[in-house]
Amino acid sequence: MLRLENVSKHFGGIRALDGVSLSLREGRITGIIGPNGAGKTTLLRVMAGFYKPTRGRVYYRDRDVTPLGPHERARLGIALTFQIPRAPPEFTVGQLVQAAVGKAMYRGAAMLAERDRGEVWDRVHRVLERVGLSEYAEREASQLPLGLQKRLELARALALEPRVLLLDEPSAGMSPEEARELAGLVRDLNEKEGLTIAIVEHNVPLATGLSHYMYVLHYGRLLSEGEPGEVLRDPRVIEAYLGAGYARG
Amino acid sequence: MAEIILQVVDGLAIGSIYAGIALGLTLVYGLLRILHIAHAGVYVVGAYTAYMVYSATGSPLASMAAAMASSALLGFLINRLFYKPLLDQPRYVPLMVSIALFIVMEELVANVFGHYPKGFHVEFLSRDISLAGATVNTRKIVVFVIVLAATLLTWALTTKTRLGVASQAAAQDAETAMTLGVRIPLIIDFNFLLGSALAGLAGFLYGYYYGVISPFMGGVVAYKGLVVIVLGGFGSVMGAYLGGIILGLVEQVMTALYPHVLPREAYAFIALIALLLFRPYGIFGRREMA
């Protein structure tokens, strides 16, 4: 569905990604884990078009989307949620989701049309209901507690009716209970709506519990890949996370 | 009473011209966080375009349209040629470029049209009427009405349309806007075209109101435009309008009441300081936009 071929991303002398090739399989949840500074967020931002790779190509449904910017990829159906929620301060929860409904609305003369009402708001409410935010529709988005802002990130992404959902540390800052609820929601989106999902997580049990397939990054390189259980038993992964002593067992 | 009405009408007309200039500045600042000093040069070019077209055609409407079109094009080009390549640089870099561009534009206009003011007498809806005992020229009311209409149109475009949603989202968080499918460069182009057209309109109205234009008429408004958007709150359309009106009224009324105490500009800045003491982010401003 979404494929990276030999992607490198350098920031000055820092190699955030170095020759990474991987693919997100259609209708599956792909987990991406790795210690701090492994390049996980950079990888998602390359997928979403926020960073152009220094080398390598990005393909979406076999189309080379490397030159496309984030707004073009969003229109194609690739939606990203941010690690730190980014609710613009003057938007209510409903308005922010409304702004994301309808991928084609920010084009040409359609932009001069009146702000959407009616059927668009029905869709806004359906999305808010989907993530459990219906009762917050009129609240100022930036004033919500962190856990709810994380859900709003998801709602904003879902409003685009994506085919690929890129989740950057969705459980960061959440209580264990909130994280469990979020995991249930992500699994639902995959199983009931067939969304292809990539999830970058520090919470390894959550990522392994959700993912069908996993990639492990370390210092910008692909260290390991496979089924979650297989990856967790890989001595190279154990060493990267816990040190050489644990790997030797 | 008649004297007060006269001063208020003058203040509203002058404030409307300030507002016209500040609307463009606030649209640009809201998106790029650049203090677009060159906007004052765009305003001067608009005024001289209006002068040329009026001299050639005698049509006030053609003159106003030409001022808006030439300024829109100039603002668009300034963004594409000078700001866009510098967006990744610290904000003082485009600010320096902006100041330099303003000076270049002033000097170019002075070299082409001469360093001295030119009479620009537009015959359009100009007659004296009696308003509550005061004799008021209708051109002052025309200036007020045109800028009010332009402000309402700009406000509607930036709040009531999908473009407005995109523009607001882009102004507050460009990356989030991109994830919504918003093409940021298009929004920036639009804001420059609209804001610069409003500067051209203000240039025309300056000539229409005062009957004279000068290559250096942008100098004062360059900093008064900044005062207005600070008063109104950075990035706010209605704030820019109200800020302009307040500045015009304070200057006019205080200068009339206390002509020998302080110069006109000093009253403007006293009003600014007084307001900022109570509302540090302006009338409609928010901390995030400053």
Q: What ipTM does this complex have?
A: 0.71
Give me the residues paired with residue A20 across strands: A7
pLDDT of the residue at B196: 95
Average the pLDDT over A3-11 and give the result. 89
Question: What is the nearest CA distance from B143 to chain A, expressed in angstroms?
Answer: 27
* Dist. CA A40–CA A17, nearest whole Å: 9
Confidence of residue A122 (pLDDT cuts 50, 70, 90): confident
Interface test with A, best of B153, B176, B281, B289 (most A CBs within 10 A): B176
Question: Taking the mean position of all CA atoms in its chain, how far away is CA B234?
Answer: 13
Spell out which residues of chain A touch residue B177, defining contact as CB-CB under 8 Å: 71
Walk me through the domains of chain B, giving residue ranges and CATH numbers: 2-289 (1.10.3470)
Given this model, what pLDDT does residue A45 score? 92
- pLDDT higher at A201 or A111: A201
Neighbouring residues of B267: CB distance < 8 A, sequence distance ≥ 6: B250, B251, B254, B255
Return the percentage of chain A with pLDDT > 70, whole number.
90
- pLDDT-derived band at B154 (thresholds 50, 70, 90) equals very high
pLDDT band, residue B197 (cuts 50/70/90)? very high
At A116, the pLDDT band (50, 70, 90 cuts) reads low
Gyration radius (Cα) of chain B, Å: 19
- The pairing of beta strand B134-137 with beta strand B128-131: antiparallel
Reading the block at residue B66, the tokens are: 């030409």
CA-based nearest residue in chain A for residue B163: A111
- Alpha carbon B127 to chain centroid, angstroms: 26
pLDDT at B142: 94
pLDDT tens digits, one per residue of B21-62: 999 888 888 777 888 999 999 999 999 999 999 999 999 999
State residue A108's pLDDT score. Answer: 64
Q: What is the arithmetic mean of pLDDT over A113-125?
A: 70
- The pLDDT assigned to B17 comes to 93
Nearest Cα to A41, choosing from A104, A90, A83?
Answer: A83
Domain architecture of chain A: domains with CATH: 2-88+161-248 (3.40.50.300)
B79: DSSP letter: I
Min Cα separation B164/chain A (Å): 8
Whether B275 has a pLDDT exceeding 70, the answer reads: yes
Is residue A30 within 8 A of residue A211, CB to CB? The reply is yes
Q: Is B173 within 8 Å of chain A by CB? A: yes
CB of A90 within 8 Å of a chain B CB? The answer is yes
β-partners of residue B176 are: none
Model confidence band, residue A111 (pLDDT cutoffs 50, 70, 90) = low
In angstroms, rounded to a whole number, what is the distance separating the alpha carbons of residues B206 and B29? Answer: 23
The residue ranking higher by pLDDT, A113 or A39, is A39
Residue A86's pLDDT is 73
Alpha carbons A134 and A124: distance in angstroms, whole number: 9
For A115, the closest chain B residue by CA position comes to: B161
DSSP string, B228-285: HHHHH-TT-HHHHHHHHHHHHHHHHHHHHHSTTTS-HHHHHHHHHHHHHHH-TT-SS-
- The mean per-residue pLDDT over the stretch A31-39 comes to 86
Buried b (16+ CB within 10 A) or exposed e, A222-231: bbbbeebeeb
Task: Between B259 and B156, name the one with better pLDDT.
Answer: B156
Chain A contacts in chain B segment 89-148 (CB below 8 A): none
- Residue A119: predicted pLDDT: 64
CB hemisphere CA count around A98 (13 angstroms): 21
Whole-number CA gyration radius for chain A? 18
Mean pLDDT of B176-185: 82
Residue B150 pLDDT: 95
With bands split at pLDDT 50, 70 and 90, how would you rate the model's confidence at A198? Answer: very high
Averaged pLDDT, B196-221: 92
- Range from A87-91, A242-246, B90-94 carrying the lowest mean pLDDT: A242-246
Q: Does the pLDDT of residue A144 top 90, yes or no?
A: no
Token pair for residue B253?
């009324």
Per-residue pLDDT at B147: 96
Whole-number pLDDT of residue A200: 92
Mean pLDDT (chain B) is 87
Q: Which residue has the higher pLDDT, B148 or B122?
A: B148
Distance separating alpha carbons of residues B261 and B255, to the nearest angstrom:
8
Q: What is the pLDDT of residue B83?
A: 92
Residue located via tokens 């990276």: A4
Give the confidence band of A118 by pLDDT, cuts at 50, 70, 90: low
- Note whether A48 contacts B179, CB cutoff 8 Å: yes
Amino acid residing at B175: E
Among A86, A106, A121, A143, the residue to mutate for chain B (most B Cβ within 10 A): A106
Contact assignment for A99 to B160 by CB distance below 8 Å: no
Residue of B165, B181, B288 lying closest to A160 (CB–CB):
B181
Residues of B in contact with A156 (CB under 8 A): 176, 179-180
Query: Who among B160, B169, B288 is closest to A99 (CB)?
Result: B169
pLDDT at A2 over 80: yes
Q: Report, as an integer, the average pLDDT of A205-225.
A: 88
Q: What is the mean pLDDT of residues B214-222?
A: 87
* Chain segment B115-129, per-residue pLDDT in tens: 999 999 888 877 888
Strands A196-200 and A29-33: parallel
The runs of H, that is alpha helices, within chain B are 2-32, 39-57, 60-78, 92-113, 138-159, 162-172, 174-179, 184-210, 218-232, 237-257, 264-278
- Closest CB from B160, B166, B176 relative to A86: B176
Contact B80, B144 (CB under 8 A): no
**Which positions ≥6 away from B283 have C-beta within 8 Å?**
B231, B232, B233, B236, B239, B242, B243, B275
How long, in residues, is chain B? 290
Cβ neighbors of B13 (< 8 A, separation 6 or more) are: B139, B140, B141, B143, B144, B209, B248
Residue A211 has pLDDT above 80, yes or no: yes
Residue position matching structure tokens 């991303």? A9
Predicted confidence (pLDDT) at residue B273 exceeds the cutoff of 60? yes
With a cut of 70, say whether residue A14 has pLDDT above it: yes
